[in-house]
Structure 1
Amino acid sequence: MNLLLRMVMSSVLGIIAFAILLFVPAGTVNYWQGWALLAVFAVMSLAPTMFLNRIDPAAIERRTHAGVKAETRPVQKVVIAGTFVIFAAMLVVPALDYRFGWSHVPAWLSIVGDVMVAAGLGLAMVVVFQNRYASANITIEEGQPLVSTGLYGIVRHPMYFGNLILMIGIVLALGSYWSLLLVPIGLLLMAARILDEEKLLRAELDGYEQYTQKVRYRLVPLIW
């Protein structure tokens, strides 16, 4: 099976999984916030992926090696497992919130959340364009260059910054204030992933130690 077909099938299966996690807990398909989020994910995930596949299939191939089994470092296995749980909760809890009316987010704020989701996904794709060695698991390949310009000149882990925007955007897009309580947990998991990843990068990626002196902030400019 060629790479593009695998990516398309993976995206379709992902959208189906999203739909189950959203509409089953919501108890209805009459949940416009859920449909809007699905549309944003479908467009912002599939279209850039198909384009990148045309110009650099190897970059896409690196993104397919994801999940607990793809990680070789124990800390990363735990972090990825926890991240999957939190991500699922960020879909299920807002759906339950919608069903039982725990909180009421205005429509305009849900739309802002959709924009944040699009921005987070778009930022992650820009990172892949700037660093074709950006993979879904923590690894260093032979001959991998150090990228220190573009978004990497602002923070050391711009893809995770995009993920932070994405997390906040998801719960707002789905109309749930209570689900914002999940964001700090996701942020702690992300911080643990970054700190462990930097141990590997400092040890195995030439020039990374000097790069950390040039770009001081790991995730959020002027904060951390």
Structure 2
Amino acid sequence: MIKRLVLQTVVWLAAMGALLFGAAGSFAWPAAWWYLIELGALSLWIGLWLARHDPGLLAERLAPFVQAQQSRWDRFFMIGVALVWCAWLIAMGFDAMRFQWSAPLPVWLVSLGSLCVFLSLFMCRFVFEANSYAAPVVKIQASRGHKVIDTGPYAHIRHPMYCAALLLLVGTPLLLGSWWGLAFVPVMVFGIGWRAVREERVLAEQLEGYSEYMARVRYRFVPLIW
């Protein structure tokens, strides 16, 4: 499984690099190199930890993002996410490097972007520790004894993984130096919020105790806000 983890990570990073540098028209983009290195190193760190502590969850994380068991609407959502993510990377390459539509971001904002990316993946590590059922697709994992998780970060918000994703969405354009990339973040956040609501409907209908959990933990992403 570790070989598969390394292979998928390398392929994923290579594809992202091709989109970023292809759109930029140059490999002389230090921010993009650092972004890929940061993502790759943190992803491998989490993956190797999972291989040792929760290989079942690692197998779920490495599975295809379109699966027969998941809800039909979620299949279309995940395909849409993949397309939007690719278009977003291309747009930021055009913006930050090829055409330089955005004025250069100050160093402190670029550094903040790198910190957000780090915190996003660091938070995922604690999410995975608390929730062995944190698959990337919406489905009930009956064969793995799927149950409601209400410990760790789940004691405070219902979707800590999505909370971590918000940091990644903000941090990516800041690190890459693209104001246009940042401008599209609210649309992507809306998409995540829409999915969270649909996911909760599935869990409330099919997972015993989830409705009671929703009543206990009021907030989805950010305490006291939503």
For the aligned pair, the TM-score class normalised by the smaller chain equals over 0.9
| TM-score, length basis structure 2 | 0.93
Asked if structure 2 preserves the Cα contact closer than 8 Å seen for 1:75 and 1:193, the reply is: no
Query: Who is 1:130 aligned against?
Result: 130
Query: Who is 2:31 aligned against?
Result: 33
Mapped partners of 1:69, 1:139: distance in 2? 9
What are the superposed Cα offsets for residues 24-74 of structure 1, whole Å, 9 maximum, x if unpaired? Answer: 111111101101101110111011211220122111011122323456312
> Secondary structure of the equivalent of 1:68?
coil
Q: CA deviation at 1:181?
A: 2.0
| Residues 10-19 or 47-56, more deviating | 47-56
Mapped partners of 1:121, 1:16: distance in 2? 19
Mapped partners of 1:213, 1:80: distance in 2? 28
Give the counterpart letter for 2:82 in structure 1. Answer: F
Asked if structure 1 preserves the Cα contact closer than 8 Å seen for 2:204 and 2:210, the reply is: yes
Mapped partners of 2:121, 2:86: distance in 1? 17
Query: Who is 1:106 aligned against?
Result: 106
Asked if structure 1 preserves the Cα contact closer than 8 Å seen for 2:158 and 2:219, the reply is: yes
What are the superposed Cα offsets for residues 93-140 of structure 1, whole Å, 9 maximum, x if unpaired? Answer: 111112211112122211210110111112122211111111111111
Pick from 216, 219, 222 the counterpart of residue 217 of structure 1.
219
Asked if structure 1 preserves the Cα contact closer than 8 Å seen for 2:71 and 2:139, the reply is: no
Query: Who is 2:116 aligned against?
Result: 116
What are the superposed Cα offsets for residues 114-172 of structure 1, whole Å, 9 maximum, x if unpaired? Answer: 11011111212221111111111111122212111210011101001101111111111
Q: How does 1:173-212 map to 2 (within 5 A)?
A: 173-212=175-214
Asked if structure 2 preserves the Cα contact closer than 8 Å seen for 1:25 and 1:96, the reply is: yes
Residues 1:14 and 2:16 aligned together: no
Query: Who is 1:59 aligned against?
Result: 57
Asked if structure 2 preserves the Cα contact closer than 8 Å seen for 1:168 and 1:180, the reply is: yes
Mapped partners of 2:73, 2:136: distance in 1? 15
Residues 1:145 and 2:147 aligned together: yes
Mapped partners of 2:85, 2:165: distance in 1? 11
The unaligned stretches of length 5 or more in structure 1 are: none
Residues 1:46 and 2:44 aligned together: yes
| Residues 59-68 or 207-216, more deviating | 59-68
Give the counterpart letter for 1:106 in structure 2. Answer: P
The 1:126–1:70 alpha-carbon spacing in structure 2 relative to 1, beyond 3 Å, is: farther
| TM-score, length basis structure 1 | 0.94
Query: Who is 2:160 aligned against?
Result: 158
Q: CA deviation at 1:75?
A: 1.8
What are the superposed Cα offsets for residues 5-34 of structure 1, whole Å, 9 maximum, x if unpaired? Answer: 111100010111111011111111110110
Mapped partners of 2:81, 2:31: distance in 1? 23
The unaligned stretches of length 5 or more in structure 2 are: none
Mapped partners of 1:71, 1:21: distance in 2? 30
Query: Who is 2:169 aligned against?
Result: 167
- Where in structure 1 do 4 or more consecutive aligned residues deviate above 4 Å? none
What are the superposed Cα offsets for residues 70-91 of structure 1, whole Å, 9 maximum, x if unpaired? Answer: 5631221222122112222332
Between the two proteins, what is the percent identity of the paired residues? 34
Give the counterpart letter for 1:124 in structure 2. Answer: C
